[in-house]
Amino acid sequence: MQKFIGAILTLMVVLVSCKETKEPLEEVATVETIVKPPVLHYGFNLDDYNVVHDTVRNGDSFGELMLKNKVDYPKIAAISEKFRDTFDVRKIQVGKPYVILKSKDTSEVAEVFIYQNDRINYTVVDLRDSTNAYKSKKKVKLVEREIGGVIENNLSMTIDTLGVDYNLTFALADIYAWTIDFGRLDPGDKFKVVFEERYINDSIYAGIGSVKAAYFVHKGKPIYAFPYLSDATNNILEYFDQDANNLRSTFLRAPVKLQYRLSSRYNLRRRIAYYGNKVRPHRGTDFAAPIGTPIVATADGTVTESTRRGGNGKYVKIKHNGTYSTQYLHMKAQNVKRGDFVRQGDVIGWIGMTGNTGGPHVCYRFWKNGRQVDPFKEELPAAEPIADSLRTDYLAYIQPLRDQLDCIELIEATPELEENLITYNP
């Protein structure tokens, strides 16, 4: 027994001894390797290239830019011919940014040319090996926004006061072009809009997107507007009101979209100072606006005349069908030629003072069955309403959008609001 106890004590001594004599573990320093993520833009790893950012300047051409960056002339010529439909080298514009990706070796030859068409869309010309050209776009985030306002002067000034992209004015003018005369809005008219804003990389503003719903009160009459795919076969998206009526009409109310003044109406007994105040029938409607203001076709049709003649000055005449034709006088210049087919809203010329005129305007003339008539007194045909088979679906679709519009607060412009406003600057 004594031998057994002695053995245990001896073992404990050995264990304690081992514990005390064991050298402490050496701390091993851990090195954290940080892997830098590649810089990816336009689908390329920019770390693989010497990158040049620049802007097209006066006198620049695609060919000269490529020659300066050591691209052979035969390759430049091949791109110019082979990819003209994708990238027309003749149409690069002064002020447009571009990026050149050059090889990292001593030759520094341009391998990729990226042309920025706008903030979102760009064109890539790949110069490596067999050349290629294609269009692409940056990733865009859509953010929904709501505004509501009361008009004091005009729509554009009110929208600017609310700190919103000016282009929303044009979007609303296009939607309501057939139902509201935006050159004759009244103080106190109201509007509400649900629309999208586009952002690149979550922070860079890139313009407005689609208008998802709108509401306008003009002369006390409320008019809702909702986009709806009425013809899925042909992918036709149109705006309809709260009763499923199409907001589009066969003819626009005016050949000028926004800022204009109705300076003279159709009047067969008008006295004209230019002719010594004699009675001279005026078979047109005059829309006064600054020189250079775009003039648009009020309906689809074929250009039958684009010329200059006598007191009419430079003008365009359009045949819309067997019943209706329109004419646009006193242009500064025409944007179409005889035989062209134009769509409603296309720019066909610009306001000027050619011919007999006392100020810049377009004289808009309207023919029905070969006789000039007053377009404001004509019952012009409206576009087709929503098909009966789609009506129930449409009314269900717009209900939440209508509720959303009804809940938007109307903001009236005040001196304090205008003073504190941060002016919109895209």
Confidence of residue 16 (pLDDT cuts 50, 70, 90): very low
Say yes or no to pLDDT of 197 above 70: yes
Confidence of residue 14 (pLDDT cuts 50, 70, 90): very low
Which of 78, 109, 137 is where one domain is finished?
137
Average pLDDT for residues 222-226, to the nearest whole number?
95
| CATH number of 283's domain | 2.70.70.10
| CATH number of 240's domain | 3.10.450.350
Instruction: Clarify whether residues 202 and 146 are in a common domain.
Output: yes
Say yes or no to pLDDT of 5 above 70: no
In this structure, is residue 272 part of a structural domain? yes
Average pLDDT for residues 80-84, to the nearest whole number?
90
Instruction: Clarify whether residues 289 and 219 are in a common domain.
Output: no
Confidence of residue 173 (pLDDT cuts 50, 70, 90): confident
Instruction: Clarify whether residues 230 and 188 are in a common domain.
Output: yes
Instruction: Clarify whether residues 222 and 238 are in a common domain.
Output: yes
Say yes or no to pLDDT of 418 above 70: no
For residue 239, give the nearest of 268, 214, 267 by alpha carbon. Answer: 214
In this structure, is residue 166 part of a structural domain? yes
Which of 113, 137, 161 is where one domain is finished?
137
In this structure, is residue 391 part of a structural domain? no
> What pLDDT, on the 0 to 100 scale, is given for residue 297?
94
Average pLDDT for residues 202-228, to the nearest whole number?
92
The CB density around residue 46, as the number of other CB atoms within 10 Å, is 14
> What pLDDT, on the 0 to 100 scale, is given for residue 44?
92
Contacts of 321 (CB under 8 A, 6+ apart): 301
Cα gap 317→114, rounded to integer Å? 42
In this structure, is residue 338 part of a structural domain? yes
> What pLDDT, on the 0 to 100 scale, is given for residue 343?
85
Average pLDDT for residues 312-330, to the nearest whole number?
92
Say yes or no to pLDDT of 319 above 70: yes
Please state which of the ranges 7-21, 314-328, 331-345 shows the lowest mean pLDDT.
7-21
In this structure, is residue 296 part of a structural domain? yes
Say yes or no to pLDDT of 199 above 80: yes
Q: Greatest CA span in the chain, whole angstroms?
A: 148
Instruction: Clarify whether residues 325 and 365 are in a common domain.
Output: yes
**How many domains does one find in the chain?**
3
Confidence of residue 422 (pLDDT cuts 50, 70, 90): very low
> What pLDDT, on the 0 to 100 scale, is given for residue 102?
95
Instruction: Clarify whether residues 171 and 211 are in a common domain.
Output: yes
Instruction: Clarify whether residues 189 and 276 are in a common domain.
Output: no
Cα gap 109→97, rounded to integer Å? 20
Average pLDDT for residues 131-149, to the nearest whole number?
93
Contacts of 43 (CB under 8 A, 6+ apart): 124, 136
Instruction: Clarify whether residues 291 and 367 are in a common domain.
Output: yes
Instruction: Clarify whether residues 368 and 269 are in a common domain.
Output: yes
Please state which of the ranges 95-99, 220-224, 231-235, 334-338 shows the lowest mean pLDDT.
231-235
> What pLDDT, on the 0 to 100 scale, is given for residue 136?
93
DSSP 174-208: HHTTTT--TTS--TT-EEEEEEEEEEETTTEEEEE
In this structure, is residue 4 part of a structural domain? no
Please state which of the ranges 26-30, 59-63, 88-92, 375-379 shows the lowest mean pLDDT.
26-30
Phi and psi dihedrals of 309, rounded to 5?
A: -155, 120
Instruction: Clarify whether residues 128 and 176 are in a common domain.
Output: no
- pTM metric for this prediction: 0.61
Instruction: Clarify whether residues 133 and 145 are in a common domain.
Output: no
Residues 26-43: tens digit of each pLDDT = 555 565 666 667 767 888
In this structure, is residue 425 part of a structural domain? no
Residues 39-59: tens digit of each pLDDT = 678 889 999 999 999 999 999
> What pLDDT, on the 0 to 100 scale, is given for residue 263?
66
In this structure, is residue 388 part of a structural domain? no
Residues 271-312: tens digit of each pLDDT = 566 566 666 667 888 898 999 999 999 988 899 999 999 989
Q: Which domain holds residue 209?
A: 141-249+408-420
Instruction: Clarify whether residues 280 and 243 are in a common domain.
Output: no
Task: Identify whether the C-beta of residue 375 lies closer than 8 Å to the C-beta of residue 352.
Answer: no
Please state which of the ranges 79-83, 270-274, 381-385 shows the lowest mean pLDDT.
270-274
